[in-house]
Amino acid sequence: MEWLLGSPPVAFAEGEVTLAAPWVVYGAAVALTAVSVWLLLGYRVPPRRLSSARRLLLAALRTAAFAVLLLCLFQPTLVLSLVVPQENFVGVLLDDSASMRIRDEAGGEASRAELLLAAFAEDPAGAADALGPALRETFVVRYLRFADSAGPVATPAELRFAGERTDLAAALSGAADRLGSQPLAGLVLLTDGAGEDAGEGLDEVLLDLRARGIRVFPVPLGSPRFDVDLEVGALDAPDRVLRGSLLEVRIPIRARGLGGQVARVEVLDEGRIASVETVRFDQDDVETAITVLAPTEEAGPRRFRVRVAPAPGETVTRNNERTALLHVEERVVPILYFEGQPRWEFKYVRRAVHGDGQLRVAGLVRTAEGKFYRVEVTDEQELAGGFPDTREELFRYAGVILGSVEASFFTQDQLNMLRDLVSRRGGGLLTLGSGKSYHAGGYRGTPIAEILPLALTGADGGTEAPDGSSSGPSVAERNFRQLAIAPTRAGRTHPVVRLDQDPLVNQDRYRTLPLLSSVNLTAAPKPGAVTLLEGVGADGTREPVFLTQRFGRGRAASLTVQDLWLWQMGAEVAVDDPTHEQFWRRLLRWLAAEAPRRLEVAVDPSRPSPGEAVTIRARVEDASFLAVNDVVVEAAVTRPDGVVEAVPLLWGGQADGEYVGSVVVETAGIHAIEARAGGAGFADRSEREPASAFFEAGPPDDEYFNAESNRELLERIARETGGALIAREEADNLVERLSLSRSGATVIERRELWNAPLLFLLLFGFLGVEWALRAMGGLP
């Protein structure tokens, strides 16, 4: 193409084509056009042996030949802005991160770092098409290294390829600031673009580079796709969990080249295997996720590590595991259980949680009109007036269980409070099946119906009169049905429903449990609900039995059976069978343990590097769980060496109830944070309990995740700055593009195009084809 056009194609993209002919040439062109028109008219009356199509073709060929001749007469010229040799700078940014050590070049024989060093070898004879020697012939080259930090280096030989992360935004911004005052032809970026947050913060930097006219030419290193690889994605796990609960961890896994194979997934608690699962990959290129449940037996900060056994032939194995620091809490979660009448379920729920130091179920049973029976209350004032009638009293509980109680018992304000307990306070609400629950209890159209994960039917199937009399069987009798309980697909990995770690054993345990009964007719689950247990009737009909959904900040669950206590007292259940106790303990933990408290504290980032600042945020709310801005909040940060640093947290006015402070992390290891609040909103001693959190400082581990060469990101950098993606072997192409710079010290060069070989080939080609066609038609 360069021979045909007289200049490389990139010159036409960067330059401007003009016509340089003087005015007399335009007069000659008019005359030539007139002659060509006269010649074309000769085809109007040709010999009869020429068809109309051939006459048109001959006319088109002659017209094209005259058009090429006219173009040559107009003297087309390519105007280029070329840099002055050795008077312009080029910044070469060299990736010094640890991922450059990956050996995925030349069939696994060379690392990315080795190819980078070879491209800038001092001896050009030692490396064909080396970038360094080619750039140094025309430009003043300045080398800058980058990884988690950036800075100049004298030569690429100073690189150590040990950076803990790749920060492209900081590298490009720093290079532009450092070299922007010089005549800069452009920036050359040699990197793999790998790392989970390599592209973070690039938007503003690329806009700035484009505005300043600084072009970036990325040179990608590394393979864009590994042949065989297993990678564990970012873990989805709670920051804290109540001791004794099952930790639910969602683990994303990406597999390459492992179709039809099985991988072993392990969850380790401080090095001890807590849970094991297996995953099968149906295709070679798969992105999937599994949910693993692991027990939490010891309180305090715990490192939970997820690892996948390496597969044969993996290019990178350091992306096969992830670690999460969790706060396993040792505290008491208060829950209110309200029954409208005495029944067996109340007794056996209390028995199930008896002896569990992390659960306090305060019981309230209506024994007669206006009379209540209280159990597990902390003092004589708790629940003394029956069901709470203020938000401050109700919101003391992290969760509420509603048993056999009709909606008309509650005032409208109490119904609204129950809804706000879930949506605003972030607590949990569990409704149980009975003859006075759901539609049979008159809940349709109430605030409770908004919370429920299931829709209520328009009829209950009964014939009861408004005064309570009945002309036949009662509602409960008409709707009574026995159900065999089984977990759904979603329930098999849920911490409440998973009774055994082994999926097959878990299924068998449900098959051996007694049948349960339900008297409530319900419609389908709501769109956002998840069915975890279903009941199978005698006729094979299936219906949801245990459903959950998120509602606002909290959780709502419905258990539509009325006699779950049979799992403890059924004739076929062994005396020491733990199913009933296990189910209720896990259910109540899941329902209420994550409910926020009035004082919450969090850190960002969750894994800082030593020397990095950590932001501490506290959220403060009053007894009604409304944000307060007039309290005093202070955090105590305990370092791994035991040194305690006080950090005041101040309300910044940006968000109600949010108090912010920062501390610089000096050492690696686990740090403990304890925040306390005081003031008018925290007057009672019971409300002065500190909020705690943990974070671990250490080197980031994201360099080997998303470690494949990120060509898409590098192409975006080139496109948005006006540069181009350059292959490592295309040194001449890179120099040519940099030489056609519009910035720096430049000179204007004009290249004549009328003598380009392409134009002469076209001219003689058109005339030659016309002559051949005329000869074939017998024309002179």
Residue 465 has pLDDT above 90, yes or no: no
Q: Are residues 134 and 44 in the same domain?
A: no
Q: Are residues 355 and 450 in the same domain?
A: yes
Q: The domain spanning residue 435 has which CATH number?
A: 3.40.50.880
Please state the rounded mean pLDDT for residues 153-178.
92
Inside any domain, residue 520? no
Last residue of some domain: 697, 728, 758?
Answer: 697
Backbone dihedral region for residue 3 (phi beyond 0: left; psi -120 to 50: alpha; all else: beta)? alpha
| Distance set, CA 401 to CA 9, 361, 526, 591 (Å) | 75, 9, 20, 10
According to DSSP H, which parts of 155-295 are helical? 168-179, 202-211
For residue 91, the one-letter residue type is G
Inside any domain, residue 67? yes
> What confidence tens digit (pLDDT) does each residue in 425-463 have?
999 999 999 999 999 999 999 999 999 999 987 555 443
Give the pLDDT band of residue 265 (cuts 50, 70, 90): very high
Q: Are residues 339 and 320 in the same domain?
A: no
Q: Are residues 208 and 127 in the same domain?
A: yes
The 3 state secondary structure assigned to 571-615 is CCCCCCCCHHHHHHHHHHHHHHCCCCCCEEEEEECCCCCCCCEEE
| Distance set, CA 4 to CA 8, 735, 737, 753 (Å) | 9, 21, 19, 10
pLDDT value at position 61? 78
Q: Are residues 125 and 264 in the same domain?
A: no
Q: Are residues 290 and 359 in the same domain?
A: no
Q: The domain spanning residue 303 has which CATH number?
A: 2.60.40.10
Q: Are residues 387 and 402 in the same domain?
A: yes
According to DSSP H, which parts of 139-240 are helical? 168-179, 202-211
pLDDT value at position 150? 84
Inside any domain, residue 500? no
The span from the CA of 17 to the CA of 26, in Å, is 18
Please state the rounded mean pLDDT for residues 514-531.
91
The CB density around residue 277, as the number of other CB atoms within 10 Å, is: 19
Tell me if the bond preceding 605 is cis, omega within 30° of 0: yes
The span from the CA of 346 to the CA of 59, in Å, is 101
Inside any domain, residue 364? yes
Please state the rounded mean pLDDT for residues 539-561.
95
> Which residue segment(s) compose the domain that 309 sits in?
229-329
Tell me which of 523 and 590 has the higher pLDDT. Answer: 590
Inside any domain, residue 720? yes
Which residues make Cβ contacts (< 8 Å) with residue 736, sequence separation at least 6? 8, 10, 11
Q: Are residues 177 and 146 in the same domain?
A: yes
Q: The domain spanning residue 215 has which CATH number?
A: 3.40.50.410
Q: Are residues 155 and 204 in the same domain?
A: yes
Domain count, the chain: 5
Cα-Cα-Cα-Cα dihedral of 595, 599, 600, 601, to 10°? -170
Tell me which of 124 and 323 has the higher pLDDT. Answer: 323
Give percent above pLDDT 90 in the chain. 62
Q: Are residues 630 and 569 in the same domain?
A: no
Give the pLDDT band of residue 732 (cuts 50, 70, 90): confident
The span from the CA of 726 to the CA of 733, in Å, is 8
Last residue of some domain: 574, 592, 610?
Answer: 592
Q: The domain spanning residue 653 has which CATH number?
A: 2.60.40.1930
Inside any domain, residue 10? yes
Tokens at 721, concatenated: 């700055």
> What confidence tens digit (pLDDT) does each residue in 331-366 have?
999 999 999 999 999 999 999 999 899 999 999 999
Inside any domain, residue 724? yes
Q: Are residues 561 and 451 in the same domain?
A: yes
Q: Are residues 202 and 131 in the same domain?
A: yes
Last residue of some domain: 592, 626, 661?
Answer: 592
Tokens at 253, concatenated: 């896994």
Inside any domain, residue 467? no
Please state the rounded mean pLDDT for residues 560-585.
92
Tell me which of 748 and 709 has the higher pLDDT. Answer: 709
